Amino acid sequence: MKILVTGGAGYIGVPVVKELLNRNHDLVVLDALYWGKESLVPLLDRITLIEGDCRSAKDMLYSLEGVDAVIHLAGIVGESACVQNPKAHFTTNIESTRILVDSCMDPHLDLVRDFIYVSSCSVYGNTHGLVGMVDETTAPNPLTTYAESKCRSERIILEQAERTPHFHPTIARLTTAFGWSPRPRLDLVTNQFTYAAHKTGQITIHGSGNQFRSLIHVSDIATALADLLEAPRFVRSGQIFHVGAEENNKTLNELAEIVCAVIPGTTTVHVDKKTDRRNYAISCSKIRNLIGWEPEWSIEDGVKDLLEKLEHLDWDWESRRYRNNSYEYV
């Protein structure tokens, strides 16, 4: 297929692009290149890269020319990044989805029938004491503007599918990503713990640390999205799938213990700053049973791999380019 990947130069985007190329797909990447295109340099001779804004109908329409399918990753990721500029958040995380879906339906183009929207399990908020493991039928209860934007984009997409029989979208709700990517992020909880342990020998946990996080390696996200796109339409059309692994449902305390085991001598401290209220454990049986996808990376192996990169790459790891929440979005 010829596939458009929006946000293809990002933390998740680059592994997705590499995975799709490995499967011999033809790739178009639309990205604003906030963090540059260095992460895509080894792939530039194999892809069509369009520097553009996902909020621009013009950029979207030109990017969709001749495309068979879309994986929509572009967006401002994380609550702390979203609250910096509410207008940028709204236009990038919600209206860009509407523009893209409308562009896919444009009768002057070949209709784009297959669409993967990359959402987040943060839509569930805090289910502690209400349900055990969350599955795809659990009602969302977003606690943040970022999570609410995911819910709103999902509705835009699924409502279009109800109106348009030949539109076949799939919603992939990701658990929290971790691990090494050619465009690294150190503001994700597992990566943040690993970097803190490497740099200072101390991990800081806000609150009790008993709140659950569900985790998935960024390379496993790439294989999951590719598998979903390649699955038969009757299996995935209009469906929501969790992308994660039950064995990676960990409390923050358990996650810190894994990092401490990989980096001996690391200590953990708890502080009483405002805590993230998200607390949920995710069931991932649907994608396993219907698509046949299984993750390959354990948390421990991901931490070891990231630590090896931190130790051997002479990069300025304090740079804001490795943290989404430090960028000045406009």
Strand order in the sheet with 239-243: 47-51, 26-31, 2-6, 69-72, 114-120, 168-174, 239-243
Structure tokens at 236: 């995935």
Given a cut of 80, whether residue 81 has pLDDT beyond it is: no
Report how far residue 106's alpha carbon sits from residue 247's, in angstroms, rounded to the nearest whole number: 43
Beta strands in the chain (DSSP E): 2-6, 26-31, 47-51, 69-72, 114-120, 133-134, 168-174, 176-178, 202-206, 212-217, 239-243, 249-251, 267-271, 281-282
Q: Is the pTM of this model over 0.85?
A: yes
Question: 168 versus 320: which is more confidently predicted?
Answer: 168
Given a cut of 70, whether residue 86 has pLDDT beyond it is: yes
Given a cut of 70, whether residue 17 has pLDDT beyond it is: yes
Residue 316 has a pLDDT of 95
- HSE-up of residue 160 (Cα within 13 Å, Cβ side): 25
pLDDT in tens, 226-273: 999 999 999 999 999 999 999 999 999 999 999 999 999 999 999 987
**Per-residue confidence band for 85, with pLDDT thresholds at 50, 70 and 90:** confident
**Per-residue confidence band for 330, with pLDDT thresholds at 50, 70 and 90:** confident
Residue 248 has a pLDDT of 96
Residue 106 has a pLDDT of 81
Read off the pLDDT of each residue in 146-153 and give the average, rounded to a whole number.
94
Buried b (16+ CB within 10 A) or exposed e, 246-261: eebbbbbeebbbbbbe
Read off the pLDDT of each residue in 301-318 and give the average, rounded to a whole number.
97
Residue 259 has a pLDDT of 98
193: amino acid identity, one letter: F
Q: How many residues does the chain have?
A: 330
Q: What is the mean pLDDT of the chain?
A: 93
Report how far residue 111's alpha carbon sits from residue 316's, in angstroms, rounded to the nearest whole number: 44
Residue 324 has a pLDDT of 83
Residue 320 has a pLDDT of 86
Given a cut of 70, whether residue 274 has pLDDT beyond it is: no
Going from the N-terminus, what domains does the chain have, and what CATH number goes with each? 2-177+216-243 (3.40.50.720), 180-213+248-281+297-326 (3.90.25.10)
Question: 106 versus 312: which is more confidently predicted?
Answer: 312
pLDDT above 90 covers a percentage of the chain that reads 80
pLDDT in tens, 175-227: 999 999 999 999 999 999 999 999 999 999 998 999 899 999 999 999 999 99
Read off the pLDDT of each residue in 284-293 and give the average, rounded to a whole number.
97
